[in-house]
Each structure stands twice: as structure tokens, then as C-alpha cells.
Chains A and B, each alone.
Chain A
Amino acid sequence: MAHRDRWASRPAFIMAAMGSAIGLGNLWRFPMEAYANGGGAFLIPYIVALLTAGIPLMMLEYALGQRFQKSAPGSLREVDPRFEMVGWWALGIGMAICAYYAVVMAWCFNYLAFAFTQPWKENPQAFFDSFLGLTKGPGALGTIQWPAVVGLAITWAWIYWIIRKGVLRVGKVVMITVPLPALLTVIIAIRGFTLPGAMEGLRYYLTPDFNALLNAKTWLSAYAQVFFSLSLGFGILTAYASYLPKRSDVTNNAFLTGLADAGYAYFAGFAVFSVLGYLAQVQGVPVESVVRGGPGLAFVVYPTAISLMPLAPLIGVLFFITLLTLGIDSAFSIVEGAVAGVRDKWNLSQGKVTTWFCMVGFLVGLVFTTGAGLYWLDIVDHWMNEYGLVVIGLAECILIGWFFGAAKLKEYINEVSDFRVGWWWDFFIKWLTPIALGIALVVNIAGEMKAAYGGYPTWALLAGGWGLVAAIIVLAAVLARLPGRTKEGA
């Protein structure tokens, strides 16, 4: 391509990368992981994992995009044409994740509207019963939940509006959608600190149990949390970095993004646990009985706590705006990464490719708006994260570390960066990160052998889990073999 889009400024890129990394998981996954794995002691393996795997791998993805000025498939094709498939696989996994992530955002839109009247006050479990219309299992699809469909349409229209003009508009949008949730989280946390019982909640979050450090599971959880949180393995960071000039600082950008992501997640724990402490005190139960992660935290526990506070509608609105603004940057970054891959290879217009991706994303997402949607969301989420992203991370480390040569990429990183990286970067990319991801993969597969994930029927796990992973691999192989329409893509 003769001309490549560029970020308007370095801050625009850094904000976009931060926005991509900081998502719903920072708020509803990290605090629960910390709580379940030694409280404050979890922060030790978490910071170790961030510095030894998260940031080094982030530097790898940035360096790939920046050096070759192409999205993930194109950059990996430059390394070796046989590796292009891994790039397409990353984009495929990302789009599968985005299909259900957009549905979670659709629920947030619905709950934002509910926040004014707080209908969950009567029955917090209404989220599962009447709102999702949850059926008995993945085989009983039930009916489509139309409020969720409306929310889904709004979400995809929002994503479309942001990325159809390319990274220039993205750069403007993230100047609002990245600082806004951080500011709102501060407001919610301050509100939380002033509530009775908040300190008890924070005690659960922060009191360190150093015995947990002797447990391999704690370390594995820390590496997994860092890996899933930083938007690694989606091809997003490579695509975003490809819009930077070749001489941009790789190391500092990676540290800024990684530390901002970890810093937000750590702070979000204060907002979550102070409110959980309050809820436990009001209900007269121990904090552990109200602790819940994922959608259960966002749509059941937190709304229940909010409804008990003074100024409940205002706090509810702020909370769901926080979730929406946290989610949107992550969602559109995934789509932008995929759009960039297609554009690089077939030289199509941004608007046309974005339209197609958003339409397909919306249609696929409809499955998750049915009564069985939550079951399918859980299955797809488990397989895409535990097998899709982990395998891609592993493949990136092996392909770059061992085939392309970590030293070669390190040379480029040091040429353009303020902070030089030493032998340790090669060691982390060639040995430590692949070993950590390899162990995570083996442990997950062993777990799968012992018991069916979530107690779901085998056919559902084959269809939404292994089958979907296999389908994405086949699709990636086909896309990699198709001839491109540009000189670079040919």
C-alpha cells in the first residue's frame, strides 16, 4: 500500500492501547482473582508475571507491527510466509470473543436504562430469570431477548461509527473513553470508602496470605490474568503499532500500557471490595458470601449494593457508563485489528470492511441473546481464552524467539527505544513465557479430561469449544493461502 494511516500523535496511540487493554476484566476479574489467590499476596506473582511475561510479549507484538508496518497476519508473513496463518488465527479468535463481548455491552446498555428506576431492587436474580430468560441448558435456546438485541445493535453501531474512519477517529474517541471510566471508578471508589463496612471489604481484598505463594495455582492464575488482561494474542497491539512511525519507542510504550492496565485493575479492586463490604454489612453476612466475579458481580451483586445506597440512580448510571466505556475500547480494538488484517491483504476500503465485520459480528452475537446465550457465552469464552489466546501467545514466542530470532527483534527495539532491553528479554520470550503458557495449557487440558467444563453436555463443548477452535484454525489456513490483492499481500 502506498499510504498507511497514522495516529495523530503518540498520546493517541498510547491511550488507544491502554483502552484496548483496560476492559471489563480489569473490574470484574482481577479483584476476584486477587481475593481467591492470597489477597494482597497475589500482587507479588501478578507483578512478576507482568514484568516477565506481559510486558515482554507486549513489546514483541508492538515491535512486529511497527517494524513491518503491517497488521498481525502481514507482519508474521514478513517473518516467514508459513506463519501468516497464526496471525489470521489470532484475528479469528478475537472476533469470536468480540461477538459475545458486544452482548455483554448490550446488557450494560439495558442496565444503564434500568438504573433510573432500579427494577432489580425487588429481585436481583431477575438478571438471570426475566432479563436473560435463562433456559435449562445450552440445548434449549429459548427465545431471543429483544432488549438485548436492541443493545447489541447500538453496540455494533457504536463500534462501526468509531472505526469506519480509521485510527484518526479512534485517536479522538479514546481521549474520552479511556480517562472517563478511570475518573468514574475514582468517584465510585470514593463513594465506596465512605460507606459503612468498606474497610472490612478492603481487608478481604488486601490482607496478604503469603502461604498462597507456595501454591502453583496462584502463580498460574497471575500469569493467566496478566495474559488475558493485556489484549495479547488478538493481533490488536500489532495492528495498532503498525500505524506508528517506524522509529517510535517500543519499550516505553509497552511499559506505559502494561503499568496502566495493572494500575487500573488494582484500583478497581478498591471500588469493588469497598462496596462488597458495605453490602455484606447491610445484609448482615460475611463478605465472602457476597463475593462474585464476572457478570454476576456487574449485573447482580453490584446493582443490589447500589440500590441500598443513597443517590442510587446516580451511582447506578455512573457504574454502567463505567462498564460501557471500559468495554467499548476493547471491543472496537479487536474489530480494528481484524479490519486492518483484511485491508492489508486485499487492499479494501476501511468503510467497506468495517461494515461487513460489524454486520457479521451483530448476526453471530444474536446467538448469545437467546435464553441459552449465557451458557454459550461461557463455553466460547472458556475455549477462546484458554486454548485460543494461550496457543497464539505460545506460537508467537516460539516463532519469534526461536525461528525469527529474539535477538534480531531486540536489536530493533533497542534501536528505537529510550530504555534498552538486555539478555532478559530473549530469556523471557524464548523460555519463561512459553513455559508458563505451556504449563497453563497442559493444566487446562488435564482439567478438561477430568470433568466436562461447567458440567455442560459433551456435544455443546464440542460445538462451542473444540469445534469453534478447529473452525477458526481452518478459516485461518484458508485465508493465509488465498492470494492477496496488493504487492505485499501477494
Chain B
Amino acid sequence: MSPSAWITCVIVSVILYGGFAVCLAVAIRRGREGRRDDEQES
């Protein structure tokens, strides 16, 4: 593959999978906080 193909591959992967990982991390953190709040309330 040409260098331009490799660069495209890396940039797109960072945007799509990196973006997904960030969103997932936020969702997991929010879920943990929610569970902790529920436990404290009960």
C-alpha cells in the first residue's frame, strides 16, 4: 500500500475508534456514578 493509504488508514482509525473509546469511557463512568448514587440512596 502507498504511504497515503497508510496515513488515511491511521487517521480514520483514530477518529472513529478513538471517538468511540472516549464516548464509551464517559458512558462507563456515568454508569458507575449512577450505581454508586443508587447504593448510597438505598
- A residues bordering B, Cβ < 8 Å? 10, 14, 39-41, 43, 47, 199, 202-203, 206-208, 249, 252-253, 255-256, 259-260, 262-263, 266, 418-419
Contact = CB atoms under 8 A, between A and B. Distances in A.
A199 B1 contact: yes
A252 B23 CA distance: 6
Contact of A206 (B8, B16, B19, B30): B8
12 contacts: A39-B5, A40-B4, A43-B12, A203-B1, A206-B6, A207-B1, A249-B27, A252-B26, A252-B30, A262-B16, A266-B12, A266-B13
A266 B18 CA distance: 14
Contacts, number: 63
B20 A40 contact: no
Contact of A418 (B1, B17, B30): B30
A14 B5 contact: no
Given A10-B31, A259-B16, A203 B23 contact: no
Nearest to A210: B4
Interface in B1-42: 1-2, 4-6, 8-9, 12-13, 15-17, 19-20, 23-24, 26-27, 30-31
Among all A-B residue pairs, the 8 with the closest Cβ atoms? A40-B8, A206-B5, A259-B20, A263-B16, A207-B5, A255-B23, A256-B23, A43-B12
A207 B5 CA distance: 4
A256 B30 CA distance: 14
Interface of B is mostly: helix
Given A10-B31, A208-B5, 12 more contacts: A14-B27, A40-B5, A41-B8, A43-B12, A47-B12, A203-B2, A203-B5, A206-B8, A207-B1, A255-B23, A259-B19, A266-B13
B8 A263 contact: no
A380 B16 CA distance: 32
A419 B13 CA distance: 22
A419 B24 CA distance: 13
Given A10-B27, A14-B27, A252-B27, A43 B8 contact: yes
B12 A259 contact: no
Interface of B: 1-2, 4-6, 8-9, 12-13, 15-17, 19-20, 23-24, 26-27, 30-31
- Name which of B2, B20, B31 has the most chain A CB atoms within 10 A of its CB: B20
Contacts of B23: 252, 255-256, 259
A484 B19 CA distance: 43
A274 to B, nearest CB: 11
Nearest to A259: B20
A212 B25 CA distance: 36
Contacts of B19: 255, 259
A413 to B, nearest CB: 15
A255 B17 CA distance: 11
B38 to A, nearest CB: 13
A14 B24 CA distance: 10
Contacts of A256: 20, 23-24, 27
A202 B8 CA distance: 12
Contacts of A43: 8, 12
Contacts of B20: 255-256, 259-260, 263
A2 to B, nearest CB: 24
B26 A418 contact: yes
A13 to B, nearest CB: 11
Nearest to B27: A252
Contacts of A262: 16
A260 B12 CA distance: 13
Given A10-B31, A260-B20, A263-B20, A206 B26 contact: no
